[in-house]
């Protein structure tokens, strides 16, 4: 099929590449000329393991193209995916400016029946909103062209996005149109044959499934983080609590790892957005709202703990390991590390930070704090002469860190392990003043 994907970010680019791998002819459209130039030069604008090889192969075989030319990308597509950002507006609701622009562009350009697929995470009712915006443009053109708008939310995880798109847990398709449904089945033929579970539903249910899923995961993390705060006080071990809880099939062990709070481009904004949707419809989303405030509290607790245990951080040098919101991505959006770094700097600390991939983005996100932060080339440089190490993101390379050498390089001996990476290693406790999360 001839498919255009609008937006070449973490979702659109991976989606475009994988759809071409499924054998479709794909054009990836973006307004960011730099991104498109870089893609046309074979350079990925994001870090996503495993993506480059599949992208190169499909470009070489003529199934995948990148452009900023809207007419070229939209006029002949049978299917158009919208995969642009839906960032939070001032009040926390989803800002649909980019989605609306896509709808207008589609309305101004389509020539024949087109299936428009919303992959961006959007509030319930956005399908109607997109449909009306396209109709409006068609009316302006005096064009009578048939189209359908389908909801097909994305559940990929950054860092594991290629596998998640090749082997998704499920594919959700929301449409009331039989014709559009047939097209969607053709697009995902490969997954259908491979027995991937499909959920066919109406558009509004599909839109809500995405928010409900992310809100549930955010609640689950906040729940175990709250248990961790209590466990530290009563002398219990949250890792063991989570392990035992997870043995119950109704609970499952996934997403029960306590830490510095959730971050990233999805959970913080999607939880806020669903609370706002609730307000709009007069429904108090109190459980999700509690998760949001628990998450804010969790990040503050991390800062307070470091300050308390070190007897203040004024004039101290703190090594931060890991800035990206999780391992295997360069995405720093709403990462807990940002709040922790800001909090420590505001209390007088100097930061030496190292992240395998997130440094570039962190530099501009922490622009106002730049005089207090040195970005280092590796963990060795970051920890040299530091009073404390704070491991914020559990990149695999930090798991094998040589603890004796680390201690020798440091001035002090504080180790705050916010991901419990070394909590089962007895050496860490003899070498350092060691503080894991949710246990002694
Ligand atoms: P992103 O910010 O990485 O990428 C968005 C891209 O869209 C950018 O390259 C931008 O230049 C482009 N764009 C904006 N307006 C455009 C327009 N009018 N025409 C063409 N291109 C345009 O965003 P993302 O992380 O890929 O997220 C996209 C959507 O998918 C969001 O709604 C997000 O909530 C959702 N989502 C994200 C993830 C994730 O892990 N990142 C997972 C599931 C769902």
- Check if 214 has its Cβ closer than 6 Å to any atom of ligand 1: no
- Check if 101 has its Cβ closer than 6 Å to any atom of ligand 1: yes
Mark whether 259 and 316 lie in a shared domain.
yes
User: Does residue 101 have a pLDDT over 90?
Assistant: yes
* Alpha-helical runs (H) found in 78-202: 97-109, 126-141, 161-166, 178-187, 189-193
Mark whether 143 and 283 lie in a shared domain.
no
Sequence-distant (≥ 6) Cβ neighbours of residue 265 within 8 angstroms: 10, 158, 325, 331, 333, 334
User: Distance between CA atoms of 276 and 262, rounded to whole angstroms?
Assistant: 19
Say how many Å lie between the CA of residue 335 and the centre of ligand 1. Answer: 17
pLDDT of residue 241: 98
Phi–psi pair at 376, nearest 5 degrees: -105, 160
pLDDT of residue 151: 98
Mark whether 152 and 174 lie in a shared domain.
yes
Q: What are the angstrom distances between the C-alpha of 435 and each of 295, 320, 393, 423?
A: 20, 14, 15, 9
Mark whether 220 and 195 lie in a shared domain.
no
Domain assignment present for residue 207? The answer is no
Residue-wise pLDDT for 181-212, tens only, equals 999 999 999 998 989 999 999 999 999 999 99
User: Does residue 243 have a pLDDT over 90?
Assistant: yes
User: Distance between CA atoms of 64 and 396, rounded to whole angstroms?
Assistant: 32
User: Distance between CA atoms of 406 and 415, rounded to whole angstroms?
Assistant: 10
Mark whether 86 and 148 lie in a shared domain.
yes
Mutate-to-test residue for ligand 1 from 30, 165, 171, highest number of ligand atoms within 8 A of CB: 30
Residue 59 CB-density burial (10 A; 0-12 exposed, 13-18 middle, 19+ buried) = middle
Select from 201, 225, 243 the last residue of a domain. Answer: 201
Residue 155, domain extent: 2-201
Select from 144, 170, 201 the last residue of a domain. Answer: 201
Can you say whether the dihedral through the CA atoms of 262, 259, 431, 428 is positive or negative? negative
User: Does residue 426 have a pLDDT over 90?
Assistant: no
Tell me whether residue 266 is one of the annotated catalytic residues: yes
Domain assignment present for residue 259? The answer is yes
- Check if 227 has its Cβ closer than 6 Å to any atom of ligand 1: no
Mark whether 284 and 429 lie in a shared domain.
yes
Domain assignment present for residue 206? The answer is no
DSSP structural state of residue 181: H
Mark whether 78 and 136 lie in a shared domain.
yes
Mark whether 190 and 221 lie in a shared domain.
no
Select from 144, 178, 201 the last residue of a domain. Answer: 201
Mark whether 193 and 227 lie in a shared domain.
no
Q: What is the CATH number of the domain that holds 96?
A: 3.40.50.720
Domain assignment present for residue 184? The answer is yes
Residue-wise pLDDT for 366-410, tens only, equals 999 999 999 999 999 999 999 999 999 999 999 999 999 999 999
pLDDT of residue 261: 98
Domain assignment present for residue 208? The answer is no
- Check if 120 has its Cβ closer than 6 Å to any atom of ligand 1: yes
Phi-psi region of 142 (alpha: psi -120 to 50; beta: other; left: phi over 0): left
pLDDT of residue 363: 97
User: Distance between CA atoms of 216 and 267, rounded to whole angstroms?
Assistant: 10
Mean pLDDT of the chain: 97
User: Distance between CA atoms of 268 and 283, rounded to whole angstroms?
Assistant: 20
pLDDT band at 334 (very low <50, low <70, confident <90, very high): very high
């Amino acid at each position: 099929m001839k498919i255009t994907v609008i937006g070449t970010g973490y979702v659109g680019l991976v989606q475009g590449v994988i759809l071409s791998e499924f054998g479709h002819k794909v054009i990836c459209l973006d307004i960011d000329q730099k991104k498109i130039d870089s893609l046309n030069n074979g350079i990925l604008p994001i870090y996503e393991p495993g993506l480059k090889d599949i992208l190169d192969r499909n470009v070489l075989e003529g199934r995948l193209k990148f452009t900023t030319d809207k007419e070229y990308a939209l006029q002949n597509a049978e299917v158009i995916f919208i995969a642009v950002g839906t960032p939070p507006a001032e009040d926390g609701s989803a800002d649909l400016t980019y989605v609306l622009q896509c709808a207008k562009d589609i309305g101004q350009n389509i020539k024949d029946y087109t299936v428009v697929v919303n992959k961006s995470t959007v509030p319930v009712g956005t399908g109607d909103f997109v449909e009306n915006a396209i109709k409006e443009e068609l009316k302006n053109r005096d064009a009578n062209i048939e189209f359908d708008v389908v909801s097909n939310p994305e559940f990929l995880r950054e860092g594991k996005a290629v596998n998640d798109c090749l082997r998704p847990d499920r594919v959700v398709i929301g449409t009331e149109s039989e014709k559009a449904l047939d097209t969607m089945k053709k697009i995902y033929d490969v997954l259908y044959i491979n027995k991937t579970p499909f959920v066919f539903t109406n558009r509004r249910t599909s839109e809500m499934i995405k928010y409900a899923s992310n809100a549930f995961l955010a609640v689950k993390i906040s729940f175990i983080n709250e248990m961790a705060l209590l466990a530290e006080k009563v002398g219990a071990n949250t890792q063991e609590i989570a392990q035992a809880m997870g043995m119950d099939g109704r609970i499952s062990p996934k997403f029960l790892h306590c830490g510095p709070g959730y971050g990233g481009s999805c959970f913080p904004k999607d939880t806020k957005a669903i609370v706002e949707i609730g307000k709009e419809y007069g429904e108090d989303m109190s459980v999700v709202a509690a998760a949001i405030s628990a998450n804010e509290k969790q990040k503050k607790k991390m800062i307070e703990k470091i300050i308390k245990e070190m007897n203040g951080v004024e004039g101290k040098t703190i090594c931060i390991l890991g800035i990206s919101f999780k391992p295997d991505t360069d995405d720093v959006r709403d990462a807990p590390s940002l709040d922790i770094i800001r909090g420590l700097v505001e209390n007088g600390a100097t930061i030496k930070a190292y992240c395998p991939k997130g440094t570039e983005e962190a530099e501009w996100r922490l622009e106002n704090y730049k005089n207090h932060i040195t970005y280092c080339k590796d963990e060795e440089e970051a920890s040299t002469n530091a009073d404390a190490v704070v491991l914020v993101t559990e990149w695999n390379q930090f798991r094998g860190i040589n603890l004796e050498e680390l201690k020798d390089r440091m001035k002090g001996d504080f180790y705050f392990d916010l991901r419990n990476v070394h909590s089962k290693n007895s050496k860490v406790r003899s070498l350092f003043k060691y503080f894991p999360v949710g246990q002694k």
